[in-house]
Amino acid sequence: MMKKGPWTREEDELLFSYVSREGEGRWGSVPKKAGLLRCGKSCRLRWMNYLRLSIKRGDISADEEDLIIRLHRLLGNRWSLIAGRIPGRTDNEIKNYWNTHLSKKLISQGIDPKTHKPLSSSSKPDHNLTHSSSTPNQPEATSLNSHENISNAIPINPDNGSGLDDFLSHSPDDLFSSFLDSLINEEMCE
């Protein structure tokens, strides 16, 4: 019988010591070898989102927040891709932070968190409700100007109708990575 729910300190210690010793991977066999009554998926999730030493937790900085917004504008809800550009942050944390903080923040600024475009006037909320914690001079959702979105910015062959998904599925990680860097830097300079 698999255990569910919050992890205990003892379970964390078992998983941490096992993965530290044996390395990541082969999650299906991890519970048995580590002496846990969890499924492999649960072990992987706990390691990825909580136990890894490289993880920063909480206190997302203004710079990180700005980067998340920029990346979400480029990539949409591709949380793992966004997390991959922010050292120490997990996709789950960024997803949660977006859903609980950033989407509301954008709405309070009159910006649709899905499209990053201005909300229609009828649905625009009362700006008096804006959180006092909002940073003064906080930039509105940034505009790429010449690159309205990544689909327009990437080299696309119009003949075969390829788009972002095609680009992502065919580009080597380092190529996509450097491409994202260039887009982000371009925004920074503007």
Partner DNA sequence: AAAAGACGCAACCGCCTACGT
Partner DNA sequence: TACGTAGGCGGTTGCGTCTTT
Q: What residues line the site for DNA (CB under 7 A)?
A: 3-7, 25-28, 38, 40-42, 44-46, 49-50, 57-58, 77-81, 91-93, 95-97, 99-101, 104, 169
Least spacing, CB of residue 168 vs DNA, in Å: 10
What's the closest the beta carbon of residue 152 comes to DNA, in angstroms? Answer: 20
Q: What are phi and psi of 111, to 5 degrees?
A: -115, 135
**Tokens matching residue 138:** 């906080």
Structure tokens at 13: 């210690």
Give the whole-angstrom CA distance, residue 25 versus residue 18: 11
Report the residue number, 7 or 167, with the smaller CB distance to DNA.
7
Distance between first and last Cα of the chain: 56
What's the min distance (Å) between Cβ of 140 and DNA? 21
b/e for 153-185, b at 16 or more Cβ within 10 A? bbeeeeeeebebeebeeeeeeeebeebbeebee
Minimum CB distance to DNA, residue 155 (Å): 20
Angle at 111 between CA 109 and CA 117, to 5 degrees: 150
Residue number with CB closer to DNA (107 or 143) = 107
Structure tokens at 50: 């909580």
Q: Which is nearer to DNA, 17 or 80 (CB)?
A: 80
| Cβ proximity to DNA, 104 vs 124, nearer residue | 104
- Nearest CB to DNA, comparing residues 41 and 117: 41
Given the structure tokens 């010793």, which residue do they identify? 21
Minimum Å gap between C-beta 120 and DNA is 22
SS3 67: helix
Least separation in angstroms between CB 30 and DNA? 8
Pick the closer one to DNA by CB: 87 or 188: 87
